[in-house]
Amino acid sequence: MNTEKKKLVEAITSQEEDFVQWYTDICLKAEMVDYSSVKGFMVLRPYGQAIWENIQAILDKRFKATGHENVAMPVLIPESLLKKEGELVNGFAPEVAWVTMGGSEPLEERLAVRPTSETMFCDHWSHVLHSYRELPMLYNQWCSVVRWEKTTRPFLRSREFWWQEGHTIHETAAEAEAETEQQLNCYADFAEKDLCIPVVKGRKTDKEKFAGAEATYTIEGMMKDGKSLQCATSHYFGDKFSRAYDVTFAGRDNKLQYPFQTSWGMTTRMIGAVIMTHGDDSGLILPPAIAPYQVVIVPVAAHKPGVMEKAEELRQRLSAFVRVKLDASDNSPGWKFSQWEMKGVPLRLEIGPKDMEKNQCVLVRRDNREKTFVSLDELETAIPRLLQELADSLYQNALKNREAHTYAAHTLDEVKELSATKSGFIKTMWCGDVACEEKMKAEAGLSSRCMPFEQENLGEVCPCCGRPAKTMVVWGKAY
């Protein structure tokens, strides 16, 4: 048994040896993705798709609870439509994939494979919006988009990825701004409660904001290696897109007005965030909320009379309140333990002849491998309790990692020293000048992650130029 487990675990590169390779190994060996024949395009295998479907289900329920409706927009965008708002097309130009042929005939106009859908929503709204009485329009779309990334990595950066993109229009700027904040809080709540990932909420600098947005808000997570991952964004556009695409409505004064617009999105990148926040050298550790199976039942001495029957009885019983898998394969228990550890199943239930004699089973947590002997009469209370304890532990461990790797600096020399010797977030004050932001990148290798909503006073001056500081910024190296 130990030999089988050792062999399976050795298939994963250790985090200490090569964090990036460790990550890739898990993506492939936990059977979440496969590479396709087109570079940068990935196949979501059933296990990876099941994780994404659980993420979808939770978010979709949250969106609908606040009045959002799902729609489906075309995948192709005419070039002339994409160009109507200059900042957007310029921002995405290097990443756009173009269709130039229809069958064997050249197209009269190039068609962009959607990198994002603001243009299509605006074009649609220009046809269907007439009166303030029809506002707000609160739409969401589940789809894939294509952005021609130069460097690709499963989930984190692929040329096609799956996401939801919310798009809304409102009668007033205040309503649109409230929507932007509401959706950012929705993402933060989901990340922390369901994915067990602590995040920093804040506003992006003008240099880092979404092309065409007046303001971009973000949630930033810290991975185990200290790098930052942008987990979701929410954008406020004002009426800029409405004016560019001639989206108007008759206001309360019966005069034509332009609606105010938002967009917001979260992607399959969050599966990568879960791997890099919680995983270990044995594989995935999945938060219970998104795990395809929350409990796996492994029969011990399955050939003995009654063991498989009892395991099946437990499967049926547990399926009433958790997602459960009975591993009835003829592999050894040790092989099964390793396989389901690799796949990150939160709880393992072991049942054998001796357990049956005592009317008990063994429950093993994936995160710390703690074993608990539980009466079969108490599973309905013990399993939810252990799942919650595991989720709480994942969050607290991730929070401790972030706190242990967040540093404050007051001079550029301090920033450079920290960047060269430590991994994590570095907090400094900032004057607001893009030249200082670029200097931080050039000299310390750090990008601005956000201007946190929770501000601290770390001094009066900018560490790059010595001029009066306006805000605190969190800097980091990002995926």
Phi-psi region at 271: left, alpha or beta (left = phi > 0; alpha = psi -120 to 50): alpha
How far apart CA 346 and CA 295 sit, in angstroms, is: 6
Give DSSP secondary structure letters for 213-226: -SEEEEEEEE-TTS
pLDDT at 10: 54
Q: 28-278 adopts what CATH topology? A: BirA Bifunctional Protein; domain 2 (3.30.930)
Q: What's the CATH architecture for 295-386?
A: 3-Layer(aba) Sandwich (3.40)
The CATH homologous superfamily of the domain defined by 406-476: C-terminal domain of ProRS (3.30.110.30)
Say whether the peptide bond before residue 136 is cis (omega within 30 degrees of 0): yes
Return the domain boundaries, the chain.
Answer: 28-278, 295-386, 406-476
pLDDT of residue 7: 46
Q: Are 21 and 13 in contact (CB under 8 A)?
A: yes
Token pair for residue 70?
């799902």
DSSP single-letter state for residue 140: E
Q: Give the pTM.
A: 0.94
Based on the number of CB atoms within 10 Å of its own CB, is 175 exposed (0-12), middle (13-18) or buried (19 or more)? middle
Beta strands in 380-470 (DSSP E): 406-408, 425-430, 447-452
Pairing verdict, β 371-375 and 105-113: unpaired
**C-beta neighbour count of 46 within 10 angstroms:** 11
CA distances from 20 to 117, 145, 330, 473 (A): 31, 24, 34, 27
Q: Distance between CA 42 and CA 31 in Å, rounded?
A: 12
Note whether 181 and 217 are within 8 A (CB): yes
User: What pLDDT tens digit does each residue of the chain (479 aa) get?
Assistant: 344 444 444 579 999 999 999 999 999 999 999 999 999 999 999 999 999 999 999 999 999 999 999 999 999 999 999 888 778 778 888 899 999 999 999 999 999 999 999 999 999 999 999 999 999 999 999 999 999 998 899 999 999 999 999 999 999 999 999 999 999 999 999 999 999 999 999 999 999 999 889 999 999 999 999 999 999 999 999 999 999 999 999 999 999 999 999 999 999 999 999 999 999 999 999 999 999 999 999 999 888 999 999 999 999 999 999 999 999 999 999 999 999 999 999 999 999 999 999 999 999 999 999 999 999 999 999 999 999 999 999 999 999 999 999 999 999 999 999 999 999 999 999 999 999 999 999 999 999 999 999 999 999 999 999 999 999 999 999 99
Domains 28-278 and 406-476 share a fold: no
Dist CA 295 CA 326 (whole Å): 9
Q: Which ranges of 163-291 does DSSP label H, i.e. alpha helix? A: 173-193, 240-244, 269-278
φ and ψ of 88, to 5 deg: -65, -50
